[in-house]
Structure 1
Amino acid sequence: MGIMFRGVNPINLDAKGRMAIPARYREMIASHCSNQMVATIDTESRCLLLYPLPEWEEIQAQIEALPSFNKVARRIQRLLIGHATDLELDGNGRLLLPASLREYAGLDKKIVLLGQGRKFEIWDEAQWSATRDEYLDEVGEDTLPPEMLELSL
């Protein structure tokens, strides 16, 4: 089955930019990727993407395989791979987020770690709340992809 992250987790960043990964994920991360993670920017939203190293390596291979003569593909390669940063959970289950990534996502003290299956997203708490409310306002049958209409939730 592989790794599966889900849930919304409010977290406080400390003064050095470290975030504690919630305890319920730590064992999974330790056994799946020996605490080796990769963070990069999301090109669609002002948030960060946090992958276990093996998942990131698959994604990076796919990004590198895109045709570099295509302007959009080149842009994605530069942004995602260029910002990708190797991170390791320390003995206390914390990750140090570099200043450049924190700045991109506007991360201050209160952040949200959002489970998204094979990866996490890291949001500024206020930004996530606003984005979530926007999403809730937009959800309607006319905007859902046909595949979603077949799900019984």
Structure 2
Amino acid sequence: MDRFVSTFINKIDAKGRVSVPAPFRAILERDGFQQGGAGHVYCYPALDSPAVDAGGERLARTIDGLLAGLPDYSIERDELSVALYGISQVLSVDQDGRIVLPESLRAHAGITTQVAFVGLGEKFQLWEPGQFERRRAEAQQKVREHLKLFGAGRRSGGDSGGGQQGARE
């Protein structure tokens, strides 16, 4: 299955247009999010970061799945619907592979002259490049810390097994 991977940095022109990276456009096309011959992208402010979440039909199906797990007419379902669909924007991809990034989405992410397109597997995010670099460094540091914990857990796993066996006797 196709995945959005890698990071691409593109410039925004004076009209707010930015080129969607060709590998991302190809995935969106294969994902089937086409209307009237022009591609489209779902976009909404990320819930937990100064970024924009984006994707095609696969992203919409993922959101539908999240909502399906909540009771109809529940407050939780309504809140999630508002947070994901209520503020989503469907952006058209023009014949040159560009989208117009609305001011509201740019403001949320602090995007001004350049956009970092960041692949996250089934979706991608749009970031202000400097903000993304800080986020990337933070994520890599956290992964290193987790790897240390996993390594320590494996080394001590044999010791704790022996201790537990002794405690049962």
Q: Give the TM-score normalised by structure 2.
A: 0.73
Q: What CA distance in whole angstroms lies between the structure 2 residues aligned with 1:28 and 1:134?
A: 28
In 1, are the aligned partners of 2:28 and 2:55 still within 8 Å (CA)?
Answer: no
Which residue of structure 2 aligns with residue 20 of structure 1? 19
Deviation at 1:141, TM superposition (A): 4.3
Residue 58 (structure 2) pairs with residue 59 (structure 1) = no
Distance in 2 between residues matched to 1:18 and 1:76, nearest whole Å: 29
Distance 1:137 1:58 in 2: 32
Aligned counterparts, 1:72-151, within 5 A: 73-142=77-146
* Structure 2: gaps (5+ residues): 155-169
Query: How far did residue 133 of structure 1 move?
Result: 1.8
Name the CA distance, whole Å, in 2 between partners of 1:142 and 1:31.
35
Q: CA deviation at 1:145?
A: 8.7
One-letter code aligned to 2:48: E
Shift of 1:91: 0.4
Moved more, 132-141 or 109-118: 132-141
Q: Where does the alignment leave 5 or more consecutive residues of structure 1 unmatched?
A: none
Q: 1:57 to 1:25 in 2, by over 3 A?
A: closer
Aligned counterparts of 1:145 and 1:41: Cα–Cα separation in 2:
33
Q: Percent identity?
A: 26
Q: Which amino acid aligns with 2:43?
A: A
The amino acid that maps onto 1:100 is S
> TM-score normalised to the size of structure 1?
0.80
The alignment of Structure 1 onto Structure 2 pairs a total of residues equal to: 145
The amino acid across from 1:108 in the alignment is T
State the Cα RMSD in Å.
2.5
Shift of 1:98: 1.4
Task: Decide which structure has greater helix share.
Answer: 2
Query: Do the aligned partners of residues 109 and 142 (structure 1) sit closer, same or farther apart at CA in structure 2, a change above 3 Å counting?
Result: same
Is the alpha carbon distance of 1:4 and 1:45 closer, same or farther for their aligned partners in structure 2, counting shifts above 3 Å? Answer: same
Q: Does 2:74 correspond to 1:69? A: yes
Distance 1:144 1:38 in 2: 37
CA shift, 1:17, in A, is: 1.6
| Cα distance in structure 1, aligned partners of 2:65 and 2:114 | 33
Residues of 2 paired with 1:48 and 1:144: CA distance?
A: 31
Alpha-carbon distance in structure 1 between the residues aligned to 2:148 and 2:54: 26
